[in-house]
Chain A
Amino acid sequence: MIACLSIPGFSLRAPLLRRPELEGKPVALAPVPGTRPLLGSCTRAAHEAGVRPGMLLSEALATCPRLELVEQDPAGAEEAWEAVLRRLEEAGFAVEPAEPGCVYFETRGVERLAGGLEQALRRALDAVGEEWGARVGAASRRFAALAAATVAPAGRALVIDDGEAHLFLEPLPLDLLPLSPERREELSELGVKRLGELARLPRSAVADRLGADGAEAWQLARGEGGAGVEPRRPPAEITETLSFPEPVANELTLARALAALLERLLARPERAGRAPRQLALSAKLVGGGSWRRSLTLREPTAEPDRLRLALASKLAELPAPTAELRLELGELTESVGTQAELVHPRGSRLRERLRVGLRQVRAAVGSADAVCTVVEVAPWSRIPETRAILVPRDD
């Protein structure tokens, strides 16, 4: 069986878990700074008060003056989602995350361990924890499992038998299908509002009118397609975080801090000469929000200059002063031999000597933080202690 575990409104639920005082209140995710002021997900109380995701902020506040706004925290949500995935993996499930709040897994392997399908699904829910209000759907096809997870109550599992999938899907709305809003609108105008209504149409007619997307949706509506799960490889990322004594907005300072983080990451022994293919830069913003950008390199590299160049442009997108900067190296390639160089690049011997010297100093002092790099933060400041910071180095 394929199971789908769903946590509706995950991006809002993650910050709400840290603010229990907002429990039961009308709350919505604040618009992303620097974009159109449109609301993100909202709680049930906000929904009952007439607030909808995607609404203009002014309209939402006029509709529900008691509406509380929570800053977008994509980095926090990503971290919380990774923790959920890891708990599922620790419970024995090989997971295929679809998006934050939705993950697929195959139950077969764990069924024997847990003593049956129901018990395996219970095990998954227990692993995630009841605070998330997760629900699980299981079926022989991915789409039916997703639909079952959408219908199941919080903390419960719903199993759809193979022969009943099309009956179960029939009355459900088209929202579940991976269709663009325009396509959904088109179908609605044609009087097709339920999965069953779409499934009853001839395939050729749907494909003719809606193209390949429509044909795929038609197949899903009939409870077909998508019978496998491709589990992820548990990430082997290495992370480094740098907290600033006070929020930094200056791009030059951030670039220097990024260089220091990169230097420390590349010096980490667990990297073992492997080069990253993915990088993720995240920041805690002043005021409580967060920001995150991921980057996939065309070719894995461990050259600091190339990595710095790739990441530098992302810093310009930071929407507010930063209290903490975090860098992750992901998808580390397999270790490969390094071709020895006939002629050493200029300065490489000096750098090697410096590295040995620093190791000696660190050993003599007995502290890993004994050696630091001075990073100028605000050299123009009239307050001397805010002009520069000391960043510990690892090489």
Chain B
Amino acid sequence: MVAHPGDPGHSRSARRLNEPRPALVACEDGVPAAVDRVRVTVVREEWRVDDRWWTEEPVERRYFEALLETGRNVVVFRDEASGKWFRQSA
């Protein structure tokens, strides 16, 4: 018998950094009023991301950068396809 000093090898998957995490967002007129039950003091910025419209998985998001009453700055977005809210560092 011939021995095999080799081994099948390592295989690992790279992970995405900064994946969106589901967030609990209460809205008033489509604008976040509270994020994870903490009131929003002011919405500092708002922008849209429409991308990959040429693929089968288009990205349609409406981002908000908001200042919470605790003093924290958060970025949340509404996925226009599913209507769900997510938190993400932009």
The chain A residues found within 8 Å of chain B, CB to CB, are 86, 89-90, 92, 94, 234-245, 257, 264, 268, 270, 326, 328, 369, 372, 374-375, 382-392
Contacts and interface: CB of A to CB of B under 8 A. Distances in A.
Nearest to B9: A239
Nearest to B3: A234
B80 interface: no
Given A383-B51, A390-B15, A234 B88 contact: no
B9 A240 contact: yes
Given A383-B49, A385-B19, 6 more contacts: A234-B3, A234-B4, A236-B6, A270-B7, A385-B20, A389-B15
A389 B17 contact: yes
Contacts of A385: 16-20, 88
Contacts of B3: 234
Interface in B9-26: 9-20
A240 B71 CA distance: 45
Contacts of B5: 234, 236
B42 interface: no
B49 A390 contact: no
Contacts of A387: 17-18
B17 A374 contact: yes
B76 to A, nearest CB: 12
Most buried by A among B8, B9, B90: B9
B18 A238 contact: no
Which size bracket describes the interface of B in this complex? 20 to 34
Contacts of B81: none
B6 A244 contact: no
13 contacts: A89-B4, A92-B1, A237-B6, A240-B9, A241-B10, A241-B12, A245-B14, A382-B49, A383-B49, A383-B59, A385-B18, A385-B19, A385-B20
B88 A390 contact: no
Nearest to B88: A384
Contact of B13 (A234, A236, A240, A243): A243
Contacts of B90: 384
B2 interface: yes
A243 B59 contact: no
A234 B6 contact: yes
A235 B6 contact: yes
Contacts of B7: 238, 270
B73 interface: no
B8 to A, nearest CB: 8
B16 A390 contact: yes
Contact of A90 (B2, B12, B17): B2
Contact of A375 (B6, B11, B14, B19): B14
Contacts of B10: 239-241, 264, 268
Contact of A390 (B1, B17, B51, B59): B17
B90 to A, nearest CB: 6
Nearest to A381: B51
A345 B7 CA distance: 33
Contacts of A268: 10
Interface string B16-44: 11111000000000000000000000000
A90 B2 CA distance: 6
Given A383-B59, A384-B90, A385-B88, A238 B17 contact: no
Contacts of B6: 234-238
A89 B52 CA distance: 49
A345 to B, nearest CB: 28
A273 to B, nearest CB: 15
Given A240-B10, A243-B11, A388 B2 contact: no
Nearest to B50: A382
Most buried by A among B7, B10, B51: B10
B51 A389 contact: no
A391 B14 contact: yes
Nearest to A369: B12
Nearest to B10: A240
B22 to A, nearest CB: 14
Nearest to A391: B14
A49 to B, nearest CB: 34
Contacts of A240: 9-12
Nearest to B57: A246
Nearest to A113: B1
